[in-house]
Structure formats: structure tokens, C-alpha cells
């Protein structure tokens, strides 16, 4: 489990988990789980395009995630946000079907991007993942206050001169980078579980934004580490364990919130 060939696995998975927990906090408070699901599904055909072009698949993932951001941002100005997200998703999936039809040697890579193949991370992936992670964290930190304000109170943010369009575009850009980076680890079908499960659990445990972010990142790290260990021992996909553990974290968070909110039984009230 801790052999030399697993070094890249632990490094990349830890980076992805930390970024997913950080960004996932804003996904939860903005109610953007559909976008967190649609962007990676729309981005994975970019890996097929990159393979056809002979470049690193990660660059194709980022490029197609960027196309998704532009499409959602542009279409949502003229219609409902959910409809714009769905239209971009089906368009990118259509392009993916076209690219996949041009090659017969991409089936294993498609499976890995859909369901995750963390053991397939190579040395060439470390630098791009680290660079994208650093950029995502830096942009999120720079936009933290206005992004948080526009997420919890759009009217107050508007009154203070915060552009909702700019914050939406910034948030989608961060989300696209984070999801594209996480695809090789947990796969397109389960990347949103790594963002939403730990973040929702942290949100249930505290109302303090900074504490919730650190809790989300911590829970996400523990989830990925446990998933890798279980996958190594059972030879089951990492994505399966990430999904199950993410749902379990959310369930435990909700139970904890209910227990803390329940009034203590048998404690006499002091009358004035």
C-alpha cells in the first residue's frame, strides 16, 4: 500500500481531496451540485480529444471544462441556469461521442475517467495537478469574501457592489478546474460525491465558514485515504468507496446536527 509505485497515488489523491473539500463548501452553500456533476461529465470527452491530438489528457479535460463554463455562463443569461447547464452537458457529451468514434484504443481510458483509476497516475501528471490546484486555491482565496457574500445573500452582495455575474463566472471557473483535476482519481460519475459529501457534512457540523472549509477538506482527505486503502485491499474501484464514504459522511453529519439541536431531556428549566 505504501510501496514506491503508490507514491504518486497518495500525492495526487491528497491534492485532489484538499481542493475538492475547499471548493465543495461553495458548491454546497450555492446549491450548485448539478453543475458539479455536469462539468466533469462534459469535460471527460476532452481527454479523448487530447488523446487524438497526442497531448496530455489533463489539458483536454481543462479545455473542455472551460468550454462548459463559457457555455453555462452565456446561456444562463438568456434562460434558466439548470437548463443552460443541461444544454452544455449534452452538447459536450455529443462531441465526446464523436471523438470516441474516431478511435478504437480508448476504452480503458474512458472507463478510468468515468469510474476513476488513481493507480494510473504517472509522474507527468504531478506537475499539472499541483499547478492547477495552486491556481484554484489562489483564485478561491482571492474571491473568498465576495464569493461567500454572493452565495449566502445575493441581494446584500448586490447592494455592496458585488457583481453576481462575475462571481458566478469565477465560481464556475474554480469548479471546472477542480472537477477536471479530480477526474483521474475518482472519475466523472463520482467526482461530485467527493465535493458534496464532505462539504455537506462539514456544513451540518458548523455555521462558521472558515471552520466548515477546513472540516470539509479534512473529511475529504480522510475519505480519499480510506478509499485508496480499501481499494488496495479489495481490488474494488476507488470511486465506489469514495461514493459510499461520502454519503456516509453526510449521513453522520446530519445525525450529529439533529442530536445537537435536540433539547436536553430531563434538565429542569430555571424560572425567573
Q: What is the CATH number of the domain that holds 167?
A: 1.10.3470.10
CA max distance for the chain? 79
Coil/strand/helix, residue 125: helix
CA terminus-to-terminus distance, the chain? 62
Angle made by CA atoms 174, 176, 181, in degrees to the nearest 5: 100
pLDDT at 109: 66
Query: Is 215 contained in some domain?
Result: no
Q: What residues make up the domain containing 122?
A: 4-188
In the chain, which stretches have pLDDT less than 50? 265-272
Q: Is residue 206 part of a domain?
A: no
Cα 183 to Cα 186: distance, rounded to the nearest angstrom: 6
pLDDT tens column, 201-255:
998 888 899 999 999 999 999 998 998 888 888 888 777 888 888 888 888 888 8
The closest of 60, 24, 5 to 184, measured between CA atoms, is: 60
Number of compact structural domains in the chain: 1
* pLDDT score of 269: 46
Instruction: Establish if 12 belongs to a structural domain.
Output: yes
CB-neighbour burial class of residue 184 (10 A; exposed 0-12, middle 13-18, buried 19+): buried
Do the domain assignments include residue 136?
yes
**Cα distance between residue 36 and residue 5, in whole Å:** 31
Establish if 240 belongs to a structural domain: no
Indicate whether 143 belongs to any domain. yes
Identify whether 223 is part of a domain: no
Amino acid at each position: 500500500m505504501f510501496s514506491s509505485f503508490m507514491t504518486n497515488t497518495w500525492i495526487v489523491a491528497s491534492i485532489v481531496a484538499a481542493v475538492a473539500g475547499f471548493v465543495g463548501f461553495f458548491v454546497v452553500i450555492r446549491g450548485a451540485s448539478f453543475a458539479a456533476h455536469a462539468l466533469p461529465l462534459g469535460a471527460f470527452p476532452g481527454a479523448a480529444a487530447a488523446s487524438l491530438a497526442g497531448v496530455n489528457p489533463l489539458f483536454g479535460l481543462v479545455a473542455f471544462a472551460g468550454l462548459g463554463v463559457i457555455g453555462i455562463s452565456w446561456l444562463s443569461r438568456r434562460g434558466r441556469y439548470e437548463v443552460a447547464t443541461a444544454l452544455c452537458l449534452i452538447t459536450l457529451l455529443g462531441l465526446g461521442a464523436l471523438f470516441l468514434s474516431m478511435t478504437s484504443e480508448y476504452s480503458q481510458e474512458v472507463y478510468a475517467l468515468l469510474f476513476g483509476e488513481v493507480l494510473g497516475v504517472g509522474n507527468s501528471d504531478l506537475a499539472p495537478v499541483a499547478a492547477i490546484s495552486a491556481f484554484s486555491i489562489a483564485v478561491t482565496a482571492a474571491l473568498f469574501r465576495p464569493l461567500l457574500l454572493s452565495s449566502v445573500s445575493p441581494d446584500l452582495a448586490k447592494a455592496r457592489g458585488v457583481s453576481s455575474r462575475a462571481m458566478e463566472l469565477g465560481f464556475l471557473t474554480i469548479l471546472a478546474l477542480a472537477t477536471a483535476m479530480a477526474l483521474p482519481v475518482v472519475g466523472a460519475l463520482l467526482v461530485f460525491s467527493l465535493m458534496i459529501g464532505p462539504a455537506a457534512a462539514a456544513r451540518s457540523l458548523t455555521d462558521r465558514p472558515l471552520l466548515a472549509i477546513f472540516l470539509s477538506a479534512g473529511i475529504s482527505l480522510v475519505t480519499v485515504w480510506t478509499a485508496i486503502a480499501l481499494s488496495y485491499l479489495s481490488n474494488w474501484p476507488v470511486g465506489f468507496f469514495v461514493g459510499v464514504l461520502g454519503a456516509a459522511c453526510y449521513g453522520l453529519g446530519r445525525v450529529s446536527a439533529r442530536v445537537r439541536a435536540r433539547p436536553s431531556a430531563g434538565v429542569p428549566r430555571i424560572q425567573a
